Amino acid sequence: MWRFDRLDRAALGSILVLSSLTALVILRGDQIGVRVRQTTPAPAAVNVSTRSPIALAFTEPMSAPTVLERVRIEPPISGAWRWSGSAVFFQPSAALQPDTTYSVTLSAGAISLRGRPLLEAYTWHFRTRRPRLAFLAPASGRPNLFVLDLVEGTRQQLTDEPFGIYDYAISPDGSRVVYSADRAAQDAERDLYLLSLDEGRRELLVACDGQVCQSPSWSADGTRIAYERRTLVQGAIGRSPGPGRIWLADIATKQTAPLFADSQQIASLPRFAPVGEKLAFYDPNATAIVVVDLSTEQRVELPSVLGDSGAWSPDGTQLVYPDLRAYEADSYDQLLRADLSAGIITALTPLEAKRHTGPAWSPLGDLIAFGRQESPLSGGVLGPQLWLIASDGTNRRPLSNEPTISHGAFAWSPDGAWIAVQRYNLLEVNALPEVWVFKVDGSVQRRIAADAMLPAWLP
């Protein structure tokens, strides 16, 4: 006969207790079912970026089809879903509408990989921020970064750099800004700073001793900055920037390194594609725009003599850029479109006695804004005008018709409804630039800020 001593009885008791608890947990888990653990944006969030992804994280991995067939977003938006562990992410194909409340509902019945159901429907709401426009002001002095709420008309100063900001770039999600700031009034180094808009925190990203760092561009995933470094060269009347070279900076670690193993390779105006790992820049030695895929190191050269690295399509497959073409015993700027996936370059605008410059691709991918300037031979003062053209080269139309006004630095609003423009009067002595906005349908033209420049939208 088997006899249990005290230790055996304690062990058996523990096993029975654990078995009971396990059964209870399983039973209770089946009764509770799977749950939504976290959402992005958070429930009831306001001032959400129009570039924000939408995500649901569950308490355990889910059967993807049972989730996707039950989720609904209102107002409806197009985009793509992807899974990462127990979370599903929706990336909209275009920016969300500004100042809009969105509702996301997951109906009951979705099943986890363990067979547990979502017993109750889950719904949450969030609201996107109002449209805001950034710019530098005053253009006549030491410019700093401002942002304007277009609905309320309120203006907020974001930086206070004593010697001014040269240029800047807004992160893809609109939460941060990288800008280049001078150290002194003249002949000075120019450093890169990182500004968190939510926290108002400013930190040094790259110190550029004996150099100017400028022309920053964000990678699509917001983890890196491509920028231009130029060594200050002593001349007869002071120091001036030498040839440009492309460097990359890691946002998290603040580490920076040249793009090429040969750190002396000259290049300028880096521009990351909106998606993927492609980076475009201008190479004066090759007399070409160079596109490098940083993930594969594949390199494509697009012959060009104007030094502009072009404008990316929203899907990162095409690049539009101006180039000089011979026409009627003279040369004029024409817009070309490079289809990088097909390896084809075609004319976007016709070759004529006009200058076509400064292209900017709409976030919806259907339109391209550009400057169209008459030939000086036609007489009068003729500044570049704002024109639109469909991405297939059809339906050209003007949005401005003021020959004495120069239009440039075009910037599309995230929803594709507005274009911000830098303007100045060609007939006015010492004219100061102004920032205007144009409704794409031509119904509204409005001055936003005087003595201001370089507009950009906050998504």
Q: Which residue from 162, 138, 136 is spatially nearest to 147, judged by alpha carbons?
A: 136
Question: Whole-model pTM?
Answer: 0.87
- Predicted pLDDT of residue 93: 84
> What is the Cα–Cα distance from 438 to 445, expressed in whole angstroms?
5
Query: Can you read off the two tokens belonging to residue 302?
Result: 């697009």
- Predicted pLDDT of residue 328: 80
- Predicted pLDDT of residue 16: 45
- Predicted pLDDT of residue 29: 45
Strands (DSSP E) contained in 130-235 are 132-137, 144-149, 155-157, 165-170, 176-182, 190-196, 201-206, 211-218, 224-235
- Total residues belonging to the chain: 459
Task: Write out the chain's pLDDT in tens, 459 residues.
Answer: 445 455 444 444 444 444 444 444 444 445 678 999 999 999 999 989 998 889 999 999 999 999 999 999 999 999 999 999 999 999 888 889 999 999 999 999 999 999 999 999 999 999 999 889 999 999 999 999 999 999 889 999 999 999 999 999 999 999 999 999 999 988 889 999 999 998 899 999 999 999 999 999 999 999 999 999 999 998 888 889 999 999 999 999 999 999 998 877 899 999 999 999 999 999 999 999 999 999 999 999 999 999 999 999 999 999 999 999 888 878 889 999 999 999 999 999 999 989 999 999 999 999 999 999 987 655 567 899 999 999 999 999 999 999 999 999 999 999 999 999 999 999 999 999 999 999 999 999 999 999 999 999 999
Residue 392 CA, distance from chain mean position: 23
Amino acid (1-letter code) at residue 11: A
- Predicted pLDDT of residue 172: 93
> What is the Cα–Cα distance from 398 to 380, expressed in whole angstroms?
19
Q: C-alpha dihedral over 127, 129, 130, 133, to 10 degrees?
A: -160
* Residue in the block written with tokens 């958070």: 42
